[in-house]
Amino acid sequence: MNYVKTLLSVLCCLFLGLLNGKAQTFALDSVYYVKMDPFLNKIIELQDLEANIMLSKYEHIIPTNGTLFSPNGQELIKNKKKLYVTIQQTGFLFEYMGLKDSLAIFRRIDATVNINYNIGCLTFIHNDKLFSYGGYGFWKSNGHIRKYNYLDRQWDIIPTNKEIFNIGYNWFSKKEGKLYIPFQRITNAGLIGNTSSLIDFNNYQSYIFDMRTLQWEKVGALSKQLIELINKSGMSATIYTFEHGQFLMLNDEAWFLNYQENKVYHSVKADFNQLFVRRAGLLDAFFYKGKIYSYNIGLNTFTILPFDMSNFELMDYPIWGRDTSYDIYIAGGIGMLIIIIGIIWFLTSRAKRKFEQAQLKLLKTKSVNQAFVGTEVALITLLTDAAEQNNKVDIFQINHVLGIKDKNIGLQKKVRSDIINMINEKYQFITQADTQLISSIRKEDDKRFFEYFIANNEIKTIKRLIEKN
């Protein structure tokens, strides 16, 4: 008898094990008739409500007990026309089809095969179409934009110009059709030294994704103050999405990020903070017309919390500002460019001096008429002395230096012209430049006569040549 009892016990255990295994692999049904409660009734009643609502396990719409998906969270997604329920981490999608005998009908509309690739993704509605962004799965996060395909009942990938990663800190503007990512949050356990919980906060660039162009645009970088605040809170932050931005509980303090205006607000009322500390995660809650509706499961009633911006103060820093991460490279590049220009200038000046000296030496060795002669040196000296005093020289002074003051006007003019032209030609030949050494300008008080001068930037060069001469 003991043997028979033992055998029956073993058979019973095996039978129960098979039943349990079968229950754990039981697939979800395609249609569910859900009993209405005050919470679901309120959601359906508010026809103009647009919200993403994270559900507690007590308010799960789709019954998943006994299936592989019982640990998965559920989220309600509603706009003015549609109401959906998603099973988190799966891509499963149920649509509210209406009431029948006071029961809410939810029908599965997807045929998703791949699951567990989109843990923590953001699901949103744009132009009455469903989209999801990012998520974590298979040991790494992703920055994919996916669109629900109503024809094939699958999620299609949308090719974009970049892949921007983030889980949690993201916000979609329904009015603008833009997805805001204040900084990149990357997880990759497939790299050496990483673990499945390691998150890389080093990429603080801020991006906006435009649903019209399907392009990511970089708008700046997360402000230093927010970097310190987020890193200090670590993974303990509670994040809730509102109409105009994200509400954050960081280290028991309330913060509000207004992405449209790029502004940061901090709660100044401790009692206001405590309201949200007691409602960790803000499950079964939604924002509607300036108020937060939080459902109390035990009492089957809503607690209404006014969300008044007078409880907040505006901080003196934005969410994102100018990206300064590349400033060190820009400064280094500018410094290197200055050094290169300095070296080029030094070598060019040195080569020019050597060339001038070689040309002057060549002139001296060829013929005395090719170097600056006595009258030329005297005229150059007269003009350089005047230039150093910001003065100009008239023709009477030149005639005196050249020794032609008693000659007739025609001869004076010819001698002056010949000597000045000769000086200029020699100077251009020596310096190998097109710059004239001696220039002229009409006198201000008598336009019939000219005044002569040497430009200030040529004084040092000609004086050096005269000394060598």
Q: What are 213-253's pLDDT values in tens digits?
A: 999 999 999 999 988 888 877 666 778 887 778 888 887 78
Considering 87, 116, 145, which residue would you say is the last residue of a domain?
116
pLDDT of residue 358: 65
* Cα gap 469→464, rounded to integer Å: 9
* Residue 121 in domain: no
* Residue 411 in domain: yes
CB–CB of 293/286 below 8 Å? yes
pLDDT of residue 147 exceeding 50, the answer is yes
pLDDT of residue 6: 43
* Residue 388 in domain: yes
* Residue 186 in domain: no
Domain holding 363, by residue range, is 335-468
pLDDT digits (tens, 9 = 90+) for 70-80: 889 999 999 98
* Residue 50 in domain: yes
Q: What are phi and psi of 390, to 5 degrees?
A: 60, 35
If one counts the domains in the chain, the total is: 2
Considering 58, 82, 116, which residue would you say is the last residue of a domain?
116
* Residue 349 in domain: yes
Considering the chain, what is the average pLDDT of its residues?
A: 82
* Residue 373 in domain: yes
pLDDT of residue 133 exceeding 90, the answer is yes
**CATH number, domain at 434?**
1.10.10
Assigned token pair, 192: 């050496």
* Residue 389 in domain: yes
pLDDT of residue 106 exceeding 90, the answer is yes
Considering 97, 116, 135, which residue would you say is the last residue of a domain?
116
pLDDT of residue 447: 81
Listed residue (181, 312, 341, 373) closest to 259, CA to CA: 181
pLDDT of residue 196: 44
Q: Higher pLDDT residue, 275 or 42? A: 42
pTM of the complete model: 0.60
Q: DSSP letter string over 413-426?
A: HHHHHHHHHHHHHH
What amino acid is encoded at 165 in this protein?
F
